[in-house]
Structure formats: structure tokens, C-alpha cells
Amino acid sequence: MVEILRGCTRGCRFCQAGMIYRPVRERDPQLLQEQVAKLVSSTGYEEISLSSLSSGDYTQIRSLVKDLIAAYQSCGISVSLPSLRLDSFAVELAEEIQKARKTGLTFAPEAGTQRLRDVINKNVSDQDLQDVVQAAFQAGWYRLKLYFMIGLPTETAEDLDGIAQLARQVLAWGREYRTARKRPEVTVSVASFVPKPHTPFQWFGQNPLEVLAEKQEYLMERLRHPGIQFSLHQVEHSFLEAAFSRGDRRLGAVLERAVDLGCQFDSWGDQLRFESWLQAFREAGLDPAEYAQRFIDPQDPLPWDHLSPGVDKKFLIREWELAQQGLPTPDCRWDRCSLCGVCFNLAVKNRLTEANGGE
């Protein structure tokens, strides 16, 4: 695994990493090739993963992929990219990656309708999805994974239906390019929205547990279809994550008591001791739902207000207001400054590694 860039200015309103790791800083491709060479010579791994928050946005991604494949294809080492944005994938890139061993492709539409994608500032369209999915199938992939979230702000039943419709449509596109031996497969992975500090959605409460469970059942019924697999995250995990995400220093006692009660390997689904966690909250005199599910007035103080990653709170409030209007904000790498405050507050700027070495 090699980190090719740090930071992201796409501005997805649910994404904490995209807010707190600004600005964008790309690594020099020559340095990356040197790092890969050292890793290959000192390990037995058969795959090079080009990691970042949005690897397809790396300005020299095509030339980097070409160079790595040319250098290591004969050694049986493949190149892979993590979850790809729907607007940052091209046929040429797919054709380069397929020269080595095929690896899976994951795309993240996040939401099932254009309306909700505008709310969360996921600046991609159904046409973007069609273009990249068809390009992937045409280039030889037959197994794709789609990542969505449920419980997002302003979500409706129509948005849930959109997830099922998109999955079926992707499968249909795949069947247009099916081969004699490979049938297209689509995996739909659904996670529950978790409000995170320092994001425009930090004030939005998580859906109640029973509502999230009902939405999972709703989707499960609509995704029963040959060629479609459905995977989901435990709602109890997401509930605890939301509680600690928006928690304050009082939760230290909860963590300590939960460990004493045996909560040590809870990241594994079969090891989650949910009742023990609830007991730890009760003994501390705290209600996890108050942390996870409460809607907070943007003018109210937050436990993390004394911490700043450089993003202005007024920017987050403005983005929260735009979300409720369904209005997207462009990426400041390619468009106007979004006035998030990072570059001014921290005396930094986006650093892109162009072919001529400029910024």
C-alpha cells in the first residue's frame, strides 16, 4: 500500500476525512516509484494498492499506473485502486490495469438518487455511473461493488428505491458485455450514516436503531435478484460509533467500564457485546441515544468546538444550509475557492504534482 496523495477537497458533507485533512497534497511520482520498488524488494505482496481519499483524482494517475504495470507485470504483481469516484475513472485507466491480474472494482455512489447526492455534495450523476460502469465491464471486469449509505439527511423511501434500481441497472449493463465464462456480479454494500465532528452533518442526528433496521430489511427485499449480493453493517455498531463520534469527555468512563465488562474485540461482528455497552452507559448515568440521535442546533456549543483542523465553523454551517436546499459546492481544486478557511487559517494551499512540476 502506497499513499499517493493526502487530503481531499471534493467536499462530501458526511466525510470527516475530507474536511480535516485539507488541503490536497500530491506525492511526487518519482518518489512513489522509489517507495514501491523498496516495498516490492522487501515483501512478498502481489498487489500494489495506490491509496488515498480519492486516488482517481491524482493528476498523474494514468502515467503512474502505466509505469508500475510496465515495471512489475512480468513479476506477477498487479496494481489496484481503492474505492473510485464515479467521475474519476476512464476507459484508458481500466485498460492499463487489466494488463495485469484483475482485481475488484468498488464505486461509491453513496445515494440512490440525484437529489440526495446533491444534498450530500456527491457531485456525480447517473450518467457518470453509466459511463464508468460500462467502461469497466467493457474492459473485462465482471464483478463490481457499489457502496451506499442509509439514514442520510433528508432521505426518503424514493432514495432507498433508487439504490435497488441502480443495482439492477448496473447488472443489466454488465450483461450487455458478458462473456461465455463470466457472468456479471454486483455487490451492494450498505452502511448506516454516522454524523461526524467537523463536518456539515455534525448537527444531524442518526436514525433510531429500529428505523435503520427497517431500512435494511426494505432494501434486502428489493435486492433479492440473481447476480446481486447484499452486504450490510450491523446497526448496533453504527449506533455505538455515532455515540462516540459525537461524545464528550464523560464517555471515558463508559469506555473503561465496557472493557471491564469484556468489550475488547467488538469490531468483529460476532464479538460485539452490545448489551454490555448499554450496561456501561447506564452505570455512567448516560444515554447513548442522546449522543447519537439528537438533532443539535448549529448555534449550540459542541464538545469539540475548542479543536480546529483549520475549517471554519461558519463554512460548515453554510454547507449545512446548502445541503437542506439540495445545492452542491464545487471542488476548489478545479473551481473557485469555497472559503472553507483552511488555506487562510493554516497558511497552506492545494499542492498538485503536474507533469511540469508546478503547483
Residue 355 lies in a domain: no
**Backbone φ and ψ of 330, nearest 5°:** -70, 165
One-letter amino acid at 154 equals T
For 42-69, what is each residue's pLDDT tens digit? Answer: 998 889 999 999 888 899 998 999 899 9
Model pLDDT, residue 267: 87
Model pLDDT, residue 357: 44
For 112-162, what is each residue's pLDDT tens digit? Answer: 999 999 999 998 888 888 888 888 888 778 889 999 999 999 999 999 999
Same domain, 128 and 257: no
Residue-range definition of the domain harbouring residue 6: 2-250+286-346
Model pLDDT, residue 137: 84
Model pLDDT, residue 101: 57
Q: How many folded domains does the chain comprise?
A: 2
Cα 186 to Cα 166: distance, rounded to the nearest angstrom: 10
- Model-level pTM greater than 0.95? no
- The total number of residues shown for the chain amounts to 359
What's 34's domain CATH number?
Answer: 3.80.30.20
Model pLDDT, residue 80: 83
Same domain, 278 and 320: no
- The number of beta carbons lying within 10 Å of the beta carbon of residue 220 is 14
Same domain, 277 and 162: no
Same domain, 189 and 212: yes
Same domain, 173 and 198: yes
Q: What parts of the chain have a pLDDT lower than 50?
A: 180, 355-359
Same domain, 191 and 174: yes
Model pLDDT, residue 78: 87
- Which residues fall within 8 angstroms of residue 16, CB to CB, at 6 or more apart? 196, 197, 198, 199
Using CB atoms within 10 Å of the CB of residue 91, give its burial: 0 to 12 exposed, 13 to 18 middle, 19+ buried: middle
Give the residue among 309, 321, 332 at the shortest CA–CA distance from 17.
Answer: 309
Which of 285, 308, 330 delimits the end of a domain? 285
Model pLDDT, residue 24: 95
Model pLDDT, residue 178: 66
